[in-house]
């Protein structure tokens, strides 16, 4: 499944937001995000390995197969931010339930080729279902879920960007009312 989406904000804004994507009201299944490792490579690119803890509402028909026990699933994500090339690439795969299903996602945010003030997201998902007789049902379910999630993804970004802008506003208001700190001053000039 491949999708292209446009964000109406510049790449830096979208990348900042995407790095802080969770929590947001559109992705309620993600309840934990942890950074496992992070480093800058020789080309100046930031690599991050993260663990996403999710609780997705499985349809009851799947629950009856795997049992009610654990509906918690873990996703490992590797991302690379290249501030020179202006790309933010994320790859993720589930590391639990791998004997049943494999969901690999790849997202790339880069400035829109036609308008550098906008961002383009290319998103790809490869889903394979193993050894479950209801495979076509499950694949269809996940495909439509991923499609609708892509739209939700853009809403989620908008939400995070608004939230970050509000924080900057609040800092600016505080700065006007009190003595300026270097941090607040930086926030005011950024706005």
The least distance separating another protein from the CB of residue 61, rounded to whole angstroms, comes to 26
How many whole angstroms separate alpha carbon 188 and alpha carbon 191?
5
Size of the site for another protein (CB under 8 A): 35
Of 10 and 141, nearer to another protein (C-beta) is 10
How many whole angstroms separate alpha carbon 15 and alpha carbon 140?
30
CB 120 within 8 A of CB 109: yes
Nearest CA-CA partner of 48 in 57, 62, 36: 36
137-154 burial, b at 16+ Cβ within 10 Å, e below that, comes to ebeebbeeebeebbeebb
The least distance separating another protein from the CB of residue 99, rounded to whole angstroms, comes to 11
* Residue numbers 46-105 binding another protein by CB under 8 A: 46-47, 49, 51, 53, 74, 76, 81, 83-84, 95-96
Q: Which of 1, 3, 16, 106 binds another protein (CB under 8 A)?
A: 16
Residue 23 interacts with another protein (CB under 8 A)? Answer: yes
Long-range contacts of 134-139 (CB under 8 A, 24+ apart): 134/61, 134/62, 134/65, 137/61, 138/62, 138/101
The least distance separating another protein from the CB of residue 139, rounded to whole angstroms, comes to 24
Alpha carbon distances (Å) from 67 to 75, 140, 176, 184: 20, 21, 58, 52
The piece of 26-34, 102-110, 124-132, 155-163 that touches another protein (CB under 8 A) is: 26-34
How many whole angstroms separate alpha carbon 159 and alpha carbon 169?
15
The least distance separating another protein from the CB of residue 7, rounded to whole angstroms, comes to 16
Q: Which of 6, 28, 34, 116 binds another protein (CB under 8 A)?
A: 34
The piece of 43-51, 57-65, 99-107, 150-158 that touches another protein (CB under 8 A) is: 43-51
Q: CB-hemisphere CA count at 13 Å for 91?
A: 4
Residue 22 interacts with another protein (CB under 8 A)? Answer: yes
Residues making contact with another protein (CB under 8 A)? 12, 15-16, 19-20, 22-23, 30-44, 46-47, 49, 51, 53, 74, 76, 81, 83-84, 95-96, 186
């Amino acid at each position: 499944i491949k999708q292209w989406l446009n964000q109406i904000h510049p790449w830096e804004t979208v990348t900042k937001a995407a790095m802080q994507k969770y929590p947001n009201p559109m992705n309620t299944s993600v309840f934990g995000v942890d950074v496992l490792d992070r480093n800058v490579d020789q080309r100046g690119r930031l690599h991050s390995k993260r663990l996403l803890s999710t609780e997705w509402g499985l349809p009851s028909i799947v629950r009856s197969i795997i049992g009610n026990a654990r509906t918690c699933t873990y996703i490992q994500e590797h991302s690379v931010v290249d501030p020179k090339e202006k790309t933010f690439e994320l790859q993720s795969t589930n590391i639990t339930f791998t004997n049943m299903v494999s969901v690999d996602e790849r997202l790339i945010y880069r400035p829109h080729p036609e308008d550098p003030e906008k961002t383009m997201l290319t998103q790809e998902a490869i889903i394979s279902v193993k050894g479950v007789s209801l495979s076509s049902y499950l694949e269809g379910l996940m495909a439509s879920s991923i499609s609708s999630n892509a739209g939700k993804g853009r809403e989620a970004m908008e939400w995070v960007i608004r939230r970050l802008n509000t924080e900057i506003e609040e800092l600016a208001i505080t700065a006007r009312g009190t003595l300026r700190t270097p941090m607040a001053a930086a926030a005011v000039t950024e706005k």
